[in-house]
Amino acid sequence: MGSAGVPVVVGLDNGGTSNNATVLTVDGRFLVDGLLEIPSEVRSGPEAAIEALARALDGALAQTGVPRELVRAVGLDTPGPASAEGVISSRGSTNFSQPAWRGFDVRGALERRLGLPVIYHNDGNAAALYAHHVYFGVDAMNRSSVSAIVGTGLGGGVVESGRVVAGAAGMAGELGHVHIPLNGLLGPGQSEPTCACGFTGDVESVASLTGIERNLLPYWLTRYPDHPLAAEPVARAAKLVRGYGEREDALARDLFAQQAMALGRLFTVAANFTDPHAYFVGGGVVEAAPEFRDWFLATVREHTVLREEQAAVATFALVPDRDMAGARGVAIAALEALRAVPEPRPLVA
């Protein structure tokens, strides 16, 4: 339950089917331990979706016993692509497919509906921010990290000095569309992988569920033609392959080793761009059996080329609490925005 009289921020994680909410006190305590989900209504259009987000906030306050007047700000994340200000791409997106969503200012609309400041990040950045703050704790504002979130696509985030690097158009950290070298990555006779964005050979074309379905599984089934997954429709087989990986199936391990190698090449690029303290991997691999996820992370690290000085200070880890990472990440962002409001201070100490 809530702490009497202590101000809070609320984090709202918007997804294609559900909203998840959390509550964070201004002294840094999460008051929600697990998922607080309600339907997101995004397929019913913007108006219904904004009302669903307002209901998610009310539900979180009811669950924690926090009166609404103690809420100082709200953090919101959605799937991308969207601008840094929370305006959905004019081309729409997978989750926001109706024409009314194109160019819709979801952050501004929620702010008007709630009458509270709303701070926005896309879901990849939100998860990256949460991983960073959980891992580094009190040192978070003095550390940097890069996160790759493997899902239907490949999300990500770059955090510098404890804050997400958004970029001029809000599209920094779109790590899925970074091109990586394919030499030595592809198997004999394997076609160059293509991405839904139109690129060839970006990270998402390999390290994502879509990449498995479009590029990896059709190839690896030619190498293992008698595999049970050959009898399944490819979309279903792509979702089943991780279970085979957990059982150390040869096809699945070859496929996921290719994904891990692609992430290692991405992190090698990151090492030369931002030289972060930490490299985080999130997504479905986090939910896998411990032996598999540890093997996967170790394979990513094996294929990340660091200089000796970098290897001495860098760490590799998994994004924790994946289902809650988005809501918690934007709650942290909302709290940091509150703290960033300048206080009067003397010019000379």
Task: Say yes or no to pLDDT of 295 above 70.
Answer: yes
In which band, very low, low, confident or very high, does the pLDDT at 343 lie, cut at 50, 70 and 90? very low
Note whether residue 297 is domain-resident.
yes
Q: Which residue has the tokens 């972060």?
A: 276
Burial of residue 100, with CB atoms counted within 10 A of its CB: 0-12 exposed, 13-18 middle, 19 or more buried: middle
Residue 177 and residue 90 share a domain: no
Instruction: Tell me the C-alpha distance between 59 and 36, whole Å.
Output: 8
Q: What is the CATH number of the domain that holds 314?
A: 3.30.420.40
CA dist., res. 40 & res. 12, Å (int):
11
Residue 256's Cβ-side half-sphere holds a number of Cα atoms within 13 Å equal to 28
Does a structural domain hold residue 220? Answer: yes
Tens of pLDDT along 73-128? Answer: 999 999 877 888 999 988 777 778 889 999 999 999 999 999 999 999 999 999 99
Q: What is the pLDDT of residue 126?
A: 94
| 73 and 208 housed in the same domain | no
Residues 231 and 186 in one domain: yes
344 has a pLDDT exceeding 50? no
Same domain, 162 and 227: yes
Can you tell me the mean pLDDT for 225-244? 97
For the whole model, what pTM was predicted?
0.89
What's the domain count of the chain?
2
Those residues with Cβ within 8 angstroms of residue 283's Cβ, 6 or more apart along the chain or in another chain: 148, 149, 150, 151, 155, 319, 322
Sign of the four-CA dihedral 58, 61, 65, 68: negative
How is residue 286 written in tokens? 């986090």
| Same-domain pairing of 194 and 296 | yes
Residue 131 included in any domain: no
Regarding whether 40 and 166 lie in a shared domain, the answer is no
Which pLDDT score, from 0 to 100, does residue 23 have? 98
Does residue 69 form part of some domain?
yes
Task: Clarify whether residues 241 and 171 are in a common domain.
Answer: yes
* Number of neighbours of residue 318 by Cβ within 10 angstroms: 18
In a domain, 245, yes or no: yes
- Domain extent, residue 254, equals 137-318
Considering the domain architecture, whether residues 42 and 67 belong to the same structural domain is answered as yes
| pLDDT of the residue at 347 | 47
Average pLDDT over residues 259-288: 94
**pLDDT above 60: residue 345:** no
- Predicted local confidence at residue 165, as pLDDT: 93
**173 and 296 in a common domain:** yes
Please say whether the beta carbons of 253 and 261 come within 8 A: no
- Whether residues 308 and 331 fall in one domain: no
Same domain, 106 and 142: no
- If asked whether residues 272 and 245 sit together in one domain, one would say yes
